[in-house]
Amino acid sequence: MANSSILPTAMLLAFLATFPAESRSFDIADVAGSASGFCTDRLTPKQLLIWEEIEKIALAADKGGRLLHPRLHGLWQGIQSSGHKAFIEMVEHQATTSMGGKTTLEESDLNGNQKVVVIWLYLSAMDHALADRAVRRSDGLTPYYRLGKYERYAEALGHELAHAVLMLENPGYAYLCSEYRSESAELLVLLGQGRGAAEEEIMQRRQRLQSLADRIEKPAEAAELEIWSELRSGQHRGTRASSVAQDNGAR
């Protein structure tokens, strides 16, 4: 899945081996008491311009004030009003993953009041992702199908925002994510033992990981499907509005 932040086991293991140090450490004193919502301090000037384009899509409304992408907007506002922080990271050139993004839950502040998530967006992966019916998911979505550059980024962000909001608001979901990462690391160690590892245990751990992945990904994929539909509808509405304006100008 080009836009999933939870991978099939084989891809997962390669991913874990490639990105062991991406999550940065935080100075808890700096996080505590600081403003909540999105934090874009880590973005370059170029990436900030990209973020602004994504923000325009998330907050877009028609002339009557009706939101063009209500599901995406709701998730966006869910982060902004959460009382927690979401750091945004962008990777512009990355050939070792097909993922559009991933989300991690970091440590809370000293009082446990403000949590921190980090949302990674892999721009190159989204730019080059195959948006073809051949990669259609079981829920009917073909990620990025007939979407423009920034709309692709918005779709991927929406997927990750669904993860982030659940991580921040639902302790049970956050525990599932933590368990998934722990078991992934354990399986990686087990596979590193080579022939000395018990095949039956490896199989059981793979099955456990897939079960956890399915439970974690289901709500994010449902949100992504809805967001993709909104983005496509928004395109059509924008086209119709442009046509009407042109017709009126010709009269």
pLDDT (0 to 100) of residue 40: 96
pLDDT (0 to 100) of residue 62: 92
Above pLDDT 90, what percent of the chain? 51
120, 156 Cβ separation under 8 angstroms: no
Lowest mean pLDDT among 25-39, 52-66, 98-112, 234-248: 234-248
Neighbours of 163 (CB within 10 A): 26
Confidence tier at 197 by pLDDT (50, 70, 90)? low
Q: What share of the chain is helix, strand, coil (3-state, %, to 5)?
A: 55, 10, 35
Lowest mean pLDDT among 42-46, 52-56, 159-163, 205-209: 205-209
pLDDT (0 to 100) of residue 18: 38
Classify burial at 35, counting beta carbons within 10 Å of its beta carbon; exposed 0-12, middle 13-18, buried 19 or more: exposed
Q: Is the pLDDT of residue 16 over 60?
A: no
**Cα–Cα distance between 171 and 58 in angstroms, integer?**
26
163, 76 Cβ separation under 8 angstroms: no
Mean per-residue pLDDT of the chain: 80
Section 90-107 average pLDDT: 80
Section 181-198 average pLDDT: 78
pLDDT (0 to 100) of residue 20: 34
Neighbours of 41 (CB within 10 A): 7
CA dihedral 123, 128, 134, 137 (to 10 degrees): 0
Classify burial at 174, counting beta carbons within 10 Å of its beta carbon; exposed 0-12, middle 13-18, buried 19 or more: middle
Cα 93 from chain centroid (whole Å): 17
104, 135 Cβ separation under 8 angstroms: no
Please enumerate in sequence order all residues whose Cβ is within 8 A of that of 122, keeping only pairs 6 or more positions apart, or say none: 91, 94, 97, 99, 100, 101
Lowest mean pLDDT among 70-79, 94-103, 154-163: 94-103
pLDDT (0 to 100) of residue 151: 96
Q: Tell me: the pLDDT tens digits for 59-78?
A: 999 999 999 999 999 999 99
**Cα–Cα distance between 78 and 12 in angstroms, integer?**
28
**Higher local confidence (pLDDT), 75 or 98:** 75
Q: Tell me: the pLDDT tens digits for 103-158?
A: 998 866 556 678 899 999 999 999 988 877 778 888 889 899 999 999 999 999 99
Every domain of the chain and the residues it spans: 9-234
pLDDT (0 to 100) of residue 186: 85
